[in-house]
Amino acid sequence: MDIRELLNGGDLRSIGHVDAVVAFVGNDPGRFNELMTGLTDDRPVVRMRSADAIEKLTRRHPELLQAHQASLFEQLHRATQQEVRWHLAQLMPRMTWTEEEAAEIVYVLTGWIGTETSAIVIVNSLQALFDLSMFHPRFRDEVVALLEANLESGSPAVKSRCKKCLRDM
């Protein structure tokens, strides 16, 4: 089965066969490696659905990300497609980062929050920053300031996430 072809077709408003791919890949590292190649596919729908499947799989099997940590860190810097960005934001707290790497992730996600028009990217970036600050307390004050600022000016979804994160601090 060619995973990327299974993820192709239709448009960006549907998840296509993502759930079937998630079931097929399971926690098999070889199949997961194949799924990872979809993040750099030429087709936006394949990139989006690959990112979605990766995010869904690693909720239960975050260990699958370990072998791909460097490439995901690189993707964080390269991705311009909002549907990929929102899943990359979700993935970042599922891996262990050095303080230097975490600082770079905070920088990138903060940039997305300031420039993205997608509320989903902003919400997921804020949540990722909150989650990262639990492992890297040095970013806590910066994250609190960002949450408070977005609580004032964000969309309803953004305001709701900011309230939740601030409550959980």
In a domain, 30, yes or no: yes
Same domain, 105 and 147: yes
The reported pLDDT for the residue numbered 33 is 96
pLDDT above 90 for 14: no
Q: What is the pLDDT of residue 159?
A: 96
Using an 8 Å Cβ cutoff, are 165 and 126 in contact?
Answer: yes
Q: Which amino acid is at 114?
A: G
Question: Is the pLDDT assigned to residue 11 strictly greater than 90?
Answer: no
Give percent of the chain with pLDDT exceeding 90: 89
Q: Looking at 53, 69, 85, which one is the last position of a domain?
A: 69
Q: Say yes or no to pLDDT of 161 above 90.
A: yes
pTM to 2 decimals?
0.94
Report how many domains make up the chain. 2
Q: What is the pLDDT of residues 117-136, one digit of tens each?
A: 999 999 999 999 999 999 99
Q: What is the model's pLDDT at position 13?
A: 85
- 84 pLDDT more than 80: yes
In terms of residue numbers, what domain contains 26?
A: 1-69
Amino acid at 49: R
Res. 1: pLDDT tops 80: no
Residue 10 has a pLDDT of 87
Give the model's pLDDT for residue 92: 98
Q: What is the mean pLDDT of residues 94-112?
A: 97
Annotate 72-139 with DSSP letters as a single string: HHHHHHH---HHHHHHHHHHGGGS---HHHHHHHHHHHHHHHHH---HHHHHHHHHHHHHHHHH-GGG
Least confident of 12-26, 41-55, 56-70, 82-96: 12-26
- Residue 31 has a pLDDT of 95
Residues 153 and 105 in one domain: yes
- Please tell me whether residues 18 and 63 are part of one structural domain: yes
Quick check: helix, strand or coil at residue 24? helix
